[in-house]
Structure 1
Amino acid sequence: MNLAPTIRVHTEKYMREQNLKLQHFSDITGINVGTLSAILKGSRPMSMNQLNQITSAMGLEKGYFYESYGVESFIESAPHWRRLEPYLYECAEIGKLDCIQQVITHVTDDRSYIEQLFEVAEDFFVKGLKEAALILYECVADSEKYQHSERLALCQYRIFLLHKTLNKFNNLNAAVKFEPYIDKLNEEIQLDALKDLANLYSTMNLWDKVFELAEESIRRTDLQIQLHFMRRKKKPRVAFYPLFTYKAYAILHKAHVSGERRQYIQALEYTDIYEEVVNKINDPTGEEQELIKLFKGWAEGNRYLYKLLSGDFEVLNDYHVYLDANHGEISTAFVYILQAANQYFYNVDNTLNRFKDKIDDIRTKKYVNIYNEQASNFRYIRLFYELAKYRLNQNLIDQGIDDLITSLQRCVSSNDDMMCIKCIDLYGKYRHFASKTQEKQYTKLIDKLSVPTFRS
C-alpha cells in the first residue's frame, strides 16, 4: 500500500518545482527560517497558523491540507490540546466537518479531553456553528463515563435541539430519546427543555403531551420562583428567560391545547391567566418589559382567535387592525381565520384580499415569522390546507386544488401522515376537476409518499 504524501513532502516538492530556497520560502510564508527548517525536517510540530501560512504561500485554498494535518498531528501522533483546539475551530469555520469527525472519533479514546471538547461544543453552539457542535456533543455523550452527569444531560439537550428537522419522525425520535435526561439538567435549564419539548410536541398534534408538559413546567417554575425569593444571596440566572416567562408560556400552551380541543371558553380563561401572570411583575427590567409586551400582544390576538373559532365574526375587523400591527402573527392567524370560515361557512374574502401580499410571501417562502422552523412548517401546511378547503367551498376549483397541492408538498417532505391523509381525502373529492398538470403533480407526490424510507 502506498502511503499518502505528508504535508512536508508536498511542501518540499513545491519548493523544488518553483526553485525556491529555504530563505526565499521563509520570506513568502512569513515563518522564521529556523522554524521553517525544523518543520520541514520533522523535528518541530506545525501550528495551525503556520499551516495556513504555508498553504497560502503555495497558492492553495485555506483548508487544503486540513485532512492530512489531522491525520499527521492527532491520529499518527499523540494529540496535544494546544494544537487540537485551533484545528477544531478552523475546521468548523470553513465547514470541514469530515475532518472534525475523523479526528474526534480518535481523540475521544483519551478521556482527558472530554471536558475541553464539551466546552468547545458549547462555544460552537453559541456561535451558531451547529453542525460542528453536534459532532462534538455526540462524541462527548458517547464517551461520558458518568451516565447520570449533568454534562451528559446537557449534551443530550443540545443534541435534541440540533437534531430537530422538518421531518416529524426524526423530531419525535429526538424528543423521546432526550426526555429521560430532563431531570439531570440544572433546575432552571429544565424549564427551557420543557418549553422546547412542548413546542415540538405541539407541531405533532400531541395535545395530551403538551398539556402534561405545561403543567409540569408550571410546577417547576413555581418552585424555582420560591427558591429565588428565599435565597439571601441572588444567584446569576441560568435559564434563558426570566422565571415568570416559563409559567406564562406554559399557561399559553394550556390555552392552545384547549383551543385545539374546541374548548374555547377554557382557552379564553387561560389567556386571562397568563396575561395576569405578566401583569403582576413589579418594577420590570428592560428585558422583562419586552416579554410582558409580547405576552400581552399574544393575549390580545388569541382572544380574537378564540372568539372567531367560537363563531363570533364581529371581532374580525378588530383582528385586522391587530394583524396590521403584528405581521409576525399572520401565518398563525390565517390558519384559524380560515378554519373558522370553513366551519361556519363564513365569507372572509375581504380579509384574504387585505392580506393577500403577506399570504403570497408565505407561499413563496419570503415571509419569516417569529416562530421556530418546525412550528412555521406546521402552520404552513395547515394554512394552505384550510385555504384549499375555503376555495373549493367557493367553487374556485383550480385555485383550491393548487393550494391543496402546496399543502401536500410540504406534508410529504415532512412525513406528516395525518395532514397527508387529510389532503389526499380532500383531493379525492375534487380529483375529477383537476387539470392534467395538477394530476401529474399530485401523482408525483403520492409516489414519493408510497416509497418506504429505510433508516439505520
Structure 2
Amino acid sequence: MEPTTTIRSYIEDYIRKQGYTLQYFADISGVNAGTLSAIIKGTRPIAMAQLDLITQGMKLEEGYFYEIYGAECFVESAPHWRRLEPFLQRCAELDKLECIHKVIQEVTDDRSYISELFEMAEGMLERGQTKAARMLYECVAECEKYQHSERLALCQYRIFTLSLGQNQHDNLRAAVHFEPYINRLDEERQLDAIKDLANTYLALRYWDKVFDLAEDLEQKTKILQSYTKKKTDKSDRITAYPLFVYRAYSNLLKSSACERQGRYEEALQYTELYASLTKVAEPDEEDQIYIDKFKGWTEANTYLYKLMMGDQGILPAYVNYIEQNKMELLPAMINILEAANKFDHNIDDIIYKFSDQITSEVTRLKGYTEQVELDMYITFLLERTIYHLNRCEYPEGLKQLMHCLREAVKIKNQTDIIHCVALYEKYRNIANAEIEHQYKLIMMEVQRYYDKKENPAFNLA
C-alpha cells in the first residue's frame, strides 16, 4: 500500500496539465483556494470532504484516491480517529472493502481505537453496510481474542449472523465457531443468539442439537421472566421479541425436532404447550402479532402431526387451511407429500391444485430464515420425487429428481446430494437421454468443485 505518487503531486500535475490557475480549480472543485494551496504545499492535511470535492473537480470516479489516502494518512503517519472515522465510513458507502481491510490491519496496533471501531461496526450494521461491518467486527474480535469480554462475544454473534448464507458447510462452521461465546453475552441477548443458532441447526437437520438448544432457550427465558417485569418502553428492551415469545418458540423448536425424528405424539404435546404459553393477559399490539403467528402454527402443526399418525380424515381440513393461508403452502405440501409417501396415499388432486403456486411461494415465505426456506424447498422437491417414483411416474419423478439435485448442489447439502444420487442410480436404467445429460452436467460441476479447478462455488444456470 505504498504510494508511488502522493495525492498532492497528482493535484499539482493535474492543474498544470490542464492549464488551470489555482483559483480556477478552486472554483470548479469547491475547495477554498487558500486551503487548496496549503494542501499542495503539504502544510495542511486533506480532509475527506475536501478529497471528495477535489476528486469530483478532477472528473475522477468517487474514491479514486482512497488507497493512496489510506497509506498517506494512516500507515505512513500516526492515524487520528477524527480522520479515520470518516475515511472508513466513506469506504463503506462506496464498497471500498480492500481499503478498509488494509487500513484497519495497520491501525489496530493502537488498542485505543477498538471501542470506536466496534461502535462504528454497529452503525454500519444498522445502515445495511454488512460487508464493511463484518470486517470491523472481525478486526475487533481478533484484537480481543484473549479477552473474555461481552464485546468480544457480541462481535462473534454479529459475525455469526453475517456469515449465514446458502452454503450449508459454511453455516455449520459458523455455528460451531460461535456457540462457545453465547454464555458471555448479556442475559437478554442470549435468547436471540440461542434462537438464531437453533434455527441454523434446524436448517442443517441436527435435530438433537435443536432440541438441546430449545431446552436451554426455555430455561433461560423462565429465569428472566421470574425477575423481569414487562417493559412498556420497547427501546429499553434488548431482546428482539417479548419474553413470552422465546418460551413459546422453544417449544415450537422441540415439536419440530420431534416431528423430524418421527415422534409425532411428543410433537403434538409440545404444540399444545406453546399454544398455552401464548395466552397472554391484556396483550398489546406487538404481543398480538406473535399470538396470531403461534395460533397459525398451532393449527397447521396439529393437522400435520395427526396426518403423520395416520389420520387421513384430517386432510380436507388441512387443504382448506392451506387455501386460507397461502404463506404456509410449501411447508404444508411437504407434510402432505411425506404422509402420502409413508402411507401410500394418492394425492394427485392436491398436487395438481397447488403445483402452479409452489415456485412463486418459495420466495414469499414468512416467519422462516433464508437457510430454512432453502432447505424446505429441497425437501419438497425430494418428497415429490419419491412420490412420483413410487407411483411409477418415472418421467416426472426423474425430472423432479434433477431439479432437487441441482438445488442441493447449489447449497452444498451433502445429505440430499447423496440421497439424490442414490435414487438416480436406482432408476438409472429407465432415464432418458435428456435426464442422463442433465445428471452428467451436474456431476461435472460437483467434480470441478472437489478438484478445486474453479472458484469454490457451483455454477449451475
TM bin, normalised by shorter chain, reads over 0.9
Q: Tell me what 1:278 maps to.
A: 278
Q: Tell me what 2:306 maps to.
A: 307
| 3-state SS in 2 of match to 1:239 | coil
- Matched residues in 2 for 1:3 and 1:229: separation? 59
- Matched residues in 2 for 1:306 and 1:2: separation? 65
- Matched residues in 1 for 2:398 and 2:277: separation? 44
Q: Provide structure 1 residue ranges, at least 5 long, that are not aligned to the other structure.
A: none
Q: Quick check: 1:339–1:386 contact (8 Å CA) kept in 2?
A: yes
- Matched residues in 1 for 2:301 and 2:451: separation? 39
Alpha-carbon displacement from aligned partner over 1:295-327 (angstroms, at most 9, x marks no partner)? 111111111111222222322222223223322
Shift of residue 350, structure 1, vs aligned partner:
2.0
The answer to whether the aligner puts 1:418 opposite 2:396 as a matched pair is no
> Greater shift after overlay, 107-116 or 424-433?
424-433
| 3-state SS in 1 of match to 2:19 | coil
Instruction: Pick closer, same or farther for the CA change 1:2–1:425 going to 2, 3 Å.
Output: closer
Alpha-carbon displacement from aligned partner over 1:55-77 (angstroms, at most 9, x marks no partner)? 11111121111111111111112
Counterpart AA for 2:19: N
Q: How does 1:41-190 map to 2 (within 5 A)?
A: 41-144=41-144, 147-190=147-190
The answer to whether the aligner puts 1:359 opposite 2:363 as a matched pair is no
Q: Tell me what 1:438 maps to.
A: 435
Q: Tell me what 1:398 maps to.
A: 395
Q: Tell me what 1:452 maps to.
A: 450
- Matched residues in 1 for 2:322 and 2:306: separation? 15
Alpha-carbon displacement from aligned partner over 1:71-125 (angstroms, at most 9, x marks no partner)? 1111112111111111111111221111111111111111000000000111112
Q: Tell me what 2:459 maps to.
A: none
> Greater shift after overlay, 189-198 or 39-48?
39-48
Instruction: Pick closer, same or farther for the CA change 1:255–1:453 going to 2, 3 Å.
Output: farther
Q: Provide structure 2 residue ranges, at least 5 long, that are not aligned to the other structure.
A: 457-461
Q: Tell me what 1:289 maps to.
A: 288
Counterpart AA for 1:396: E
Q: Tell me what 1:263 maps to.
A: 263
Shift of residue 146, structure 1, vs aligned partner:
5.6
Counterpart AA for 2:431: A
Q: Quick check: 1:63–1:91 contact (8 Å CA) kept in 2?
A: yes
Counterpart AA for 1:428: E
- Matched residues in 1 for 2:227 and 2:159: separation? 29
The answer to whether the aligner puts 1:250 opposite 2:250 as a matched pair is yes
> Greater shift after overlay, 390-399 or 342-351?
390-399
Identical counterparts, % of pairs? 47
Q: Quick check: 1:331–1:369 contact (8 Å CA) kept in 2?
A: no
The answer to whether the aligner puts 1:385 opposite 2:382 as a matched pair is yes
Shift of residue 366, structure 1, vs aligned partner:
5.0
Q: Tell me what 2:342 maps to.
A: 343
| 3-state SS in 1 of match to 2:204 | coil
- Matched residues in 1 for 2:29 and 2:440: separation? 60
| 3-state SS in 2 of match to 1:252 | helix
TM-score (norm 1): 0.94
Counterpart AA for 1:286: E
Q: Tell me what 2:209 maps to.
A: 209
- Matched residues in 2 for 1:375 and 1:230: separation? 31
> Greater shift after overlay, 5-14 or 105-114?
5-14
Counterpart AA for 1:427: Y
| 3-state SS in 2 of match to 1:355 | helix
Q: Quick check: 2:2–2:68 contact (8 Å CA) kept in 1?
A: no
- Matched residues in 1 for 2:282 and 2:114: separation? 43
Q: What number of residue pairs does the alignment pair up?
A: 451
Shift of residue 452, structure 1, vs aligned partner:
2.7
Instruction: Pick closer, same or farther for the CA change 1:299–1:453 going to 2, 3 Å.
Output: farther
Q: Quick check: 1:338–1:390 contact (8 Å CA) kept in 2?
A: yes
Counterpart AA for 2:123: D
- Matched residues in 2 for 1:394 and 1:242: separation? 47
- Matched residues in 2 for 1:19 and 1:321: separation? 78
Q: Quick check: 2:242–2:287 contact (8 Å CA) kept in 1?
A: yes
Alpha-carbon displacement from aligned partner over 1:360-414 (angstroms, at most 9, x marks no partner)? 325xx65454411111111111110111111222332222112111111122232
Alpha-carbon displacement from aligned partner over 1:13-65 (angstroms, at most 9, x marks no partner)? 22122211111111111111111111111111111111111111111121111
Over the residues paired in the alignment, what is the CA RMSD in angstroms? 2.2
TM-score (norm 2): 0.93
Counterpart AA for 1:84: L
Alpha-carbon displacement from aligned partner over 1:272-297 (angstroms, at most 9, x marks no partner)? 11011011x12212111111111111
- Matched residues in 1 for 2:158 and 2:15: separation? 46
> Greater shift after overlay, 118-127 or 135-144?
118-127
Q: Tell me what 1:16 maps to.
A: 16
- Matched residues in 2 for 1:272 and 1:119: separation? 43
Counterpart AA for 1:331: L
- Matched residues in 1 for 2:425 and 2:146: separation? 55
The runs of 4+ residues in structure 1 deviating greater than 4 Å are 365-369
Instruction: Pick closer, same or farther for the CA change 1:192–1:260 going to 2, 3 Å.
Output: same
- Matched residues in 2 for 1:78 and 1:400: separation? 66
- Matched residues in 2 for 1:354 and 1:319: separation? 14
| 3-state SS in 2 of match to 1:203 | helix
Alpha-carbon displacement from aligned partner over 1:410-439 (angstroms, at most 9, x marks no partner)? 222322222112111111121122222221
Q: Quick check: 1:192–1:239 contact (8 Å CA) kept in 2?
A: yes
| 3-state SS in 1 of match to 2:278 | helix
- Matched residues in 1 for 2:42 and 2:365: separation? 54
- Matched residues in 2 for 1:36 and 1:91: separation? 23
Shift of residue 201, structure 1, vs aligned partner:
0.8
Q: Tell me what 1:371 maps to.
A: 368
